[in-house]
Structure 1
Amino acid sequence: MSETRPPPSWPFLRREAALLGVPVRALTGPRYRQVLPGVMVSALVPDTVAVRARAALLLAPEGAVVSHWTAARLWGGRVPDSEWVHVAFMRDVRFRVRGVRTHRHRHRLEVVRRHGVPVTSPGQTFCHLARFLGLVDLVALGDSLVRKHRLSTSDLVAYAEGWAGQCRGEALAAARLVREGVDSSPETALRLLMVLAGLPEPTVNVELRDADGHVRFRLDLGYEGPKVAVEYDGRWHDSPEQRAHDEARRAHLTDTEGWTFVLVTGDDLYVDPAALLDRLLSELRAAGVSVPSTLSDAWRAHFRVQRIAA
């Protein structure tokens, strides 16, 4: 392969194909695919966020920085899907390309290189998205960034406290709800549903250790005093082996150590959270957890009730 030919993992501009040793006629064949208008890549290269980010930067004016949803994904954060590649500038630009969303900022962009491209820092990415994401999705992003060790919970709160851009209040409120050890977005949503309804906040990722300090079991959410675990049962993505392991773990802790398990499914959480809260209130009270006599309605601003017709 010629040294000027683009490496298989690199997108390149269609207009520069001949200069790179790629026959123009080959671009319409099965060996290459279009990433964005005017940008090609080898068909062997998977369609990843990093590839699309590189493609957008090839088209963008000087000074473009990968930002918002795309930056969050590059940092390993969990965010709702976005159809665009997001890039930001510290100046006014005229740049419109199908598949790319442009953001213009007056404040300084904190630029770090990630996967070989300039990207906004984890803290700034979180605060930028406070303008667009709801509380639950924003906390889920924060939980995932902390899980990936991009920053700590205290770092995130401090960053949001010092944020001078838009939606500082929303960023700070979400940052204060971010916790370490959260495995998934549904676990974030379940914890927030409980907290916003006024239930006592459970501990995340409870570790049960043996006499030598080794971790025997981990519980999604729990109240260690009364020995109550609340777990999201995401059976749709579990293997039979994982399901068998979870059932054996729960049976052992119930029968030999006195733990009570409250299992929550996706339908419970996303279809009828009101009924789920009623069940949680009843089961936690019966298990000895100190709970309020009535629940707050604050959760309703952040969760949709989608009752199934009989």
Structure 2
Amino acid sequence: MPEADVLTRAGILVTTPERTSWDLTQWLQVEDAVALIDVLLRRRLVTVAGLRDLAHARVGARGWKRMRRVAALVDGGAESPQESRLRVRLVLAGFSAPVTQFVVERDGRFIARVDLAWPQWKIAVEYDGLWHHDPEQFHRDRQRLNRLLGEDWIVLHLTAKRFKEDFPAFLSEVRQALRSRTH
């Protein structure tokens, strides 16, 4: 391993965040690599430009195209690995990249924030992971999302169970929502 890929933290040799990103990209499925690198990006340990530069610097090396692909998919806006995986799967299914953590406002006043959105069509996707089983959290989320109805938004929900077991049907629903707004 090149010396530039290693640094010392608390007396322990560790790989740099960029080298760690490279390794994750080589070892994991694309959506899993993106989910973990999104965390590094969100914490400002890597940058999209830095990841692109890394791919460019290693042109011809095994895995450089994969690194370029991952760098094109990362987005530090996701607040959970599953939101990252969802975004990546939507893009790989042919949808344009949704905006992460989109804030809906009216007349400069906050209405709601959604996990993923195509604001030009007023379509949002909310990922309901396991923490949504908490009744108080569920109540707050529904209250927040109900405010979007008056703003003419379509909000699609994807549960953890459905993400795992019924994702193709969810993709059909996203296609239908987009079709309803683009035709």
Question: How far apart, CA to CA, are the structure 2 residues paired with 1:143 and 1:215?
Answer: 26
Question: How far apart, CA to CA, are the structure 2 residues paired with 1:211 and 1:276?
Answer: 32
Residue 221 of structure 1 deviates from its aligned partner by 0.6
1:284/1:249 Cα in 2 relative to 1: closer, same or farther (>3 Å)?
same
Q: Are the aligned partners of 1:153 and 1:180 in contact in 2 as well (CA < 8 Å)?
A: no
What's the counterpart of residue 167 of structure 1?
Answer: 63
Residue 262 of structure 1 deviates from its aligned partner by 0.5
CA deviations 1:57-94 (Å, max 9, x no partner) are xxxxxxxxxxxxxxxxxxxxxxxxxxxxxxxxxxxxxx
Question: How far apart, CA to CA, are the structure 2 residues paired with 1:117 and 1:289?
Answer: 54
Residue 175 of structure 1 deviates from its aligned partner by 1.1
Among 131, 150, 153, which residue is 2:45 paired with? 150
Relative contact order, higher structure (CA 8 A, sep 6+): 2
Among 280, 283, 297, which residue is 2:177 paired with? 283
* SS, match of residue 221 in structure 1: strand
Residue 210 of structure 1 deviates from its aligned partner by 5.6
Residue 226 of structure 1 deviates from its aligned partner by 1.9
| Mapping for residues 264-303 of structure 1, pairs under 5 Å | 264-286=158-180, 288-289=181-182
Q: Are the aligned partners of 1:111 and 1:119 in contact in 2 as well (CA < 8 Å)?
A: yes
Question: How far apart, CA to CA, are the structure 2 residues paired with 1:166 and 1:119?
Answer: 22
Question: How far apart, CA to CA, are the structure 1 residues paired with 2:103 and 2:152?
Answer: 16
| Mapping for residues 1-310 of structure 1, pairs under 5 Å | 105=1, 107-163=2-58, 165-209=61-105, 211=107, 216-234=111-129, 236-238=130-132, 239-254=134-149, 256-286=150-180, 288-289=181-182
Give the structure with the larger helix fraction: 2
1:289/1:117 Cα in 2 relative to 1: closer, same or farther (>3 Å)?
farther
Residue 127 of structure 1 deviates from its aligned partner by 0.6
Unaligned 5+ segments in structure 1 are 1-104, 291-310
What residue identity is the alignment partner of 2:70? A
* SS, match of residue 277 in structure 1: helix
Question: How far apart, CA to CA, are the structure 2 residues paired with 1:108 and 1:217?
Answer: 47
C-alpha RMSD of matched pairs (Å): 2.1
CA deviations 1:205-260 (Å, max 9, x no partner) are 11224645x755321110112211011111x2233222111100111111x21111
Aligned sequence identity (%): 30
Residue 114 of structure 1 deviates from its aligned partner by 3.4
Question: How far apart, CA to CA, are the structure 2 residues paired with 1:120 and 1:195?
Answer: 30
Residue 116 of structure 1 deviates from its aligned partner by 4.6
Question: How far apart, CA to CA, are the structure 2 residues paired with 1:209 and 1:279?
Answer: 25
Q: Which has the larger radius of gyration?
A: 1
Q: Are the aligned partners of 2:51 and 2:67 in contact in 1 as well (CA < 8 Å)?
A: no
Q: Are the aligned partners of 1:208 and 1:217 in contact in 2 as well (CA < 8 Å)?
A: yes
Question: How far apart, CA to CA, are the structure 1 residues paired with 2:126 and 2:45?
Answer: 26
* SS, match of residue 125 in structure 2: strand
1:272/1:115 Cα in 2 relative to 1: closer, same or farther (>3 Å)?
farther
Normalising by structure 2, report the TM-score: 0.87
Question: How far apart, CA to CA, are the structure 2 residues paired with 1:197 and 1:243?
Answer: 29
Normalising by structure 1, report the TM-score: 0.54
